[in-house]
Structure 1
Amino acid sequence: MNTDQYQVRRATPDDVPTLMEMRAEAEQWLAEMGVDQWSDPDLGERAVQGWLEKINRGRTWVVTRSGRIAATISRDRADTDFWREEDVLHDAFYVYKLIVARSEAGTHLGARLLDWASVIAAAEGKSWVRLDVWRNNKGLQKYYEKQGFSHVRTEAPSHRLSGWLGQRPAGTVLHPDLLLPTIHVPLPSNLGTELAAIRAETTALASRVAQLRTALDATSTPETGTARWTYDQTQEHLFALDCSVQSAIRAITDVETEAQKLPEPTDLAWASAPRQ
């Protein structure tokens, strides 16, 4: 199979009707297997809003082939109905709304999306890829176990139908020859040069402001009257400007120091789409 036929991009609100069609298709397929997952109409309406919310925060992606959406995956924070503080919540990539079009059956696209998430999780320095599955969907639970997920535990809050919790180590890749393309938005290669130039320009500005203050201090001025008041106001504003410029220089220096710690533009840490 030519893996270049698949592309990954961030989802847009215009994609939601297609995503809901895929969801309905998945509902029918699950129903044929005796699983009622996602069959609640009210849950469907919430799904639309959930997708829109994640899309607006840059947390949903679609896989396309020949311009058509073939699959979707979302990420979000840990669902605290299931995951606990002792699970170290920040240390995982949490998978949500992983759906593959039935037309893609046999392509391992779902498994490849899990590899995609796993690569990004590792690049971000996380330890796990995690997900939750409906408690009555035994088939899907077995599927994820075949994809390297270990059953952590099953939670059963009365207001939720999901709760089978699984995780696998970040960086686990089961299909290395079929990796999906990552969205690579690297750091600008000239960031350091630009910051140094800004610092030099700001330092030069500080020097000019200091020279103006010195010149103004040497000016003979009336002791009273409008001219004196205007002179004092000018001095006051120049002092404030001097303080602001000096503060800007310190801020730019801090930015340069932190920027030096960032990964190289070629580092895989920039592989995931921008996270707002």
Structure 2
Amino acid sequence: MTRNELQNYLNTLLNSNQIKDYCPNGLQVEGKAEISKVITGVTACQALVDRAVSEGADAILVHHGYFWKGEPAEVTGMKKRRLQQLLNNDINLFAYHLPLDVHPELGNNAQLAKLMGWHFDGAVDSSDPACPLVTGRLEQPMLDDELAAHLEEKLQRELVCRVTGGHKIEKVAWCTGGGQGFIDRAAQLGVDAFITGEVSEPTIHSAREQNVAFFAAGHHATERYGVKALGEHLAEHFKLGVKFIDIDSPA
């Protein structure tokens, strides 16, 4: 498969040209023209780049890539080392941020629902293709402490933070990654619980005062599943060798 064929397919599949984001989506670093082996991962950190080199990959596909809005433009230090390793080994870097959060089947939100066994109702604002806040329902109602235990079991890690108090949970809202700022919108929807990856100091007070159970399950932990599903989709539809490599992060 050529680099351009893969880029065009991914851009169309993820509707990336219609989504305003904080970084460029698609091909971020150009490598070799022909692609047969792809490494997928959550973040294009140095460890993932090094693993891709050792695996003989032609491309890396991630959720968190480079060139974020507001970051320093200079190519020095950590940024220089990452880019140098990619360029020296002629490895393509593809990254999809919000487009991979919101895809209705392969996205992080949809895949978290699949992992947890939740009914996925979809985005809160269907008119906004970049809306990352979604709602759904549990298969069976449970107490908030039971939901906390279920999250830890499925994600295979301890929660970063929780606000519980004996809530009966049936209707939930969630946003993978750094979505703690959506808690007030979630509360307005009348949900019993809000799940995301991170927590900020005001989040705790919002949850308590609006009587919403809150769970911060980890930015990395909640966003492992979209890029993994996307890679599996590519492997199934094209003659590509795809391998997901999980470089763990406690955040």
**Both proteins in one fold, TM over 0.5:** no
Greater relative CO, 1 or 2 (CA 8 Å, sep 6+): 2
Name the structure where helix makes up a greater proportion of residues.
1
Name the structure where strand makes up a greater proportion of residues.
2
TM-score, normalising length from structure 1? 0.25
Rg larger in 1 or in 2? 1
TM-score, normalising length from structure 2? 0.27
